[in-house]
């Protein structure tokens, strides 16, 4: 695959959330507002890109038997770095995302790309793969975030959008609303794909 | 055996490098994080005792435990503005910590929620500022009120609780009452 395709595949064709169904836990939990979704997406993308680069760099020196612990150490190190940096430089966002920043360590997308791609490919391509998947993840978070915040709170980024008479559908910002939204969106993308393949 | 030594050494090398890199980031961010904590506490004191110079606020402690703050109108500390105390309430899914500032007659001058992890969109509304407003729910409901006999409407009181967040609303309300009662006890003991 050409280099550009390695990057773009993560955004739609092999979108980690909508096509690979990875990283659903943070998506469900943090997509209750666009701001949270964006913050989480960017933090996870940073970790994904950095861990892909490092893992690709050391891939020849890591014995297969211990590759998983090695990947986890690398990922956890970057997550801790970003957790500390967020606390020191963006305390409001850090407080908003709370426990979900440390939980980036167990985000399946990051370990998944380490195992499926970065462990076997060159640094440049691994970087593009990580960036594409990270952007795809952020896109998924923001798409769900827009739907859930608009319907569940009548706002986007905290700014009311639907007027004073709009009665927010509270369930949309709670867990059941997350499941409902992701179910419909996944269904929609599957339907799109079926139509595409029939043509 | 040799295999285990080789694998273990590689792991140890990687973890050592990782730990070193982390230590470097930690040393850079630690002073900033400490600073942010102090800033947040100072901001909270200023919200609880509005208009009071930070240097005119005294900490009253028992050994290491903070009991309350005393605020004066200026750094000469001759004119008492009021007191600030920390209030803790058992919310729906977290302990809600607030700072409450009162004048010498027990009326609330300022209030701010310091920490909570209540249900997003419901209990978290206690900290929410409605678009166009500049005060949070707790500030709108509590400033000016007298700290004794406060209760949510469901308990026969005057504080209108947030729809769908009765427990969080009740937790804050009751914590203000309890915190004030404690303050009164401390003040009595000091005199």
Tell me the β-bridge partners of B65. B62
Average pLDDT, chain B: 90
Please indicate, yes or no, whether the overall pTM of this predicted structure exceeds 0.90: no
Average pLDDT, chain A: 90
**Taking 90 as the threshold, does the pLDDT of residue A188 lie above it?**
yes
**Taking 70 as the threshold, does the pLDDT of residue B43 lie above it?**
yes
Cα separation of A152 and A168, whole Å? 5
Farthest CA pair distance, chain B: 77
For strand B80-90 and strand B65-72, is the pairing parallel, antiparallel, or unpaired? Answer: antiparallel
A9 token code pair: 């595949």
Chain A within 8 Å of B122 (Cβ-Cβ)? yes
Tell me which DSSP letter residue B165 carries. B
Cα separation of A118 and A130, whole Å? 8
Chain A within 8 Å of B131 (Cβ-Cβ)? yes
Average pLDDT over residues B79-93: 92
Using the structure block, give the residue that is written with the tokens 């694998």. B7
**From B14, B36, B164, residue closest to A88, measured CB to CB:** B36
A74 interaction partners in chain B (CB closer than 8 Å): 14, 18
B128 interaction partners in chain A (CB closer than 8 Å): none
ipTM of the complex: 0.77
**From B15, B33, B119, residue closest to A88, measured CB to CB:** B33
- 8 A C-beta contact, residue A191 and residue B143: no
Q: Give residue-wise pLDDT tens across range B130-145.
A: 767 889 999 999 999 9
Cα separation of A47 and A63, whole Å? 23
Q: Give residue-wise pLDDT tens across range B11-42.
A: 999 999 999 999 999 999 999 989 988 888 89
Contacts of A169 (CB under 8 A, 6+ apart): A151, A152, A177
How many CB atoms are closer than 10 A to CB A13?
Answer: 12
- Helix (H) / strand (E) containing A186: helix A175-198
pLDDT, position A167: 85
């Amino acid at each position: 695959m050409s280099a550009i395709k390695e990057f773009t595949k993560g955004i739609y064709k092999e979108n980690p959330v909508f096509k690979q169904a990875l990283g659903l836990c943070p998506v469900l939990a943090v997509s209750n507002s666009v701001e949270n979704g964006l913050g989480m997406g960017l933090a996870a993308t940073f970790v994904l890109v950095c861990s892909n680069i490092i893992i690709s760099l050391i891939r020849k020196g890591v014995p297969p038997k211990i590759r998983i612990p090695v990947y986890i150490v690398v990922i956890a190190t970057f997550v801790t770095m970003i957790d500390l940096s967020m606390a020191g430089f963006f305390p409001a966002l850090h407080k908003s995302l709370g426990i979900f920043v440390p939980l980036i360590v167990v985000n399946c997308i990051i370990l998944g790309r380490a195992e499926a791609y970065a462990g076997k490919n060159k640094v440049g391509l691994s970087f593009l793969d990580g960036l594409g998947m990270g952007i795809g993840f952020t896109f998924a978070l923001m798409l769900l975030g827009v739907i859930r915040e608009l319907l569940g709170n009548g706002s986007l980024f905290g700014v009311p959008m639907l007027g004073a008479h709009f009665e927010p559908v509270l369930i949309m910002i709670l867990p059941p609303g997350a499941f409902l939204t992701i179910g419909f969106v996944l269904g929609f993308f599957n339907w799109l794909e079926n139509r595409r393949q029939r043509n | 055996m040799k295999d285990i030594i080789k694998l273990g050494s590689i792991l140890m090398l990687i973890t050592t490098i990782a730990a070193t890199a982390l230590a470097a980031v930690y040393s850079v961010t630690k002073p900033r994080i400490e600073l942010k904590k102090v800033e947040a506490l100072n901001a909270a004191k200023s919200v609880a005792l509005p208009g009071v110079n930070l240097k005119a606020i005294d900490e009253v402690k028992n050994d290491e435990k903070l009991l309350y703050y005393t605020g004066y109108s200026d750094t000469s500390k001759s004119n008492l503005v009021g007191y600030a105390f920390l209030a803790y309430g058992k919310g729906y899914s977290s302990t809600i910590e607030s700072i409450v500032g009162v004048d010498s007659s027990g009326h609330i001058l300022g209030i701010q929620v310091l920490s909570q992890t209540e249900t997003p969109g419901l209990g978290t509304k206690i900290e929410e500022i409605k678009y166009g407003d500049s005060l949070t729910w707790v500030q709108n409901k509590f400033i000016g009120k007298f700290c004794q006999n406060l209760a949510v409407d469901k308990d026969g009181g005057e504080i209108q609780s947030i729809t769908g967040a009765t427990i969080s609303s009740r937790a804050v309300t009751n914590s203000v009452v309890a915190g004030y009662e404690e303050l009164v006890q401390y003040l009595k003991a000091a005199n």
